[in-house]
A and B are shown apart, each in its own frame.
Chain A
């Protein structure tokens, strides 16, 4: 399985944008980039996913580099409830549920 690399931790302030980077230099053409987050005492929660084009939804935006070797999850206006561990995952397009989680980025939001 292709691997992703994320910073161990990041810190930001409430109501400011947050950019969470992810490197995936060994990504293959059929790998989708998925982001999940895990809040304390909860299971992981789906955030967003994309293949080649930038994607937006009500939670976040996903910016994908042209060569697809990196991507950035953007939280436009962080709140205290966004404090969580964020996981960047490469997923094959076959619908399989096997996700390979790395260590993720622990995001701290300061009030």
Chain B
């Protein structure tokens, strides 16, 4: 069965600093990978997705993620963080024709001014 690991439970960065959130997956074939963001009291918003092709994918709000098959990773990056980026970030994977999303445990991002 597929699994997703987000090693960092909580990350604090200063506004304007760069950000990288880690995500590792476990699956035998190429999975379908997603990053979602959840602000307090809100649902999940899709930031970006990877299915195939170019391993560097661009998303909304200035986020990007890079798929590295050799490392089974799909890390999320942003060159300059804004205070409004403070939220919970979830990496998720779907495999093949399964419709079930498997989520990582999430990383809580705090942004200091």
Chain A partners chain B: no
What residues of chain A have their CB less than 8 Å away from a CB belonging to chain B?
none
What residues of chain B have their CB less than 8 Å away from a CB belonging to chain A?
none
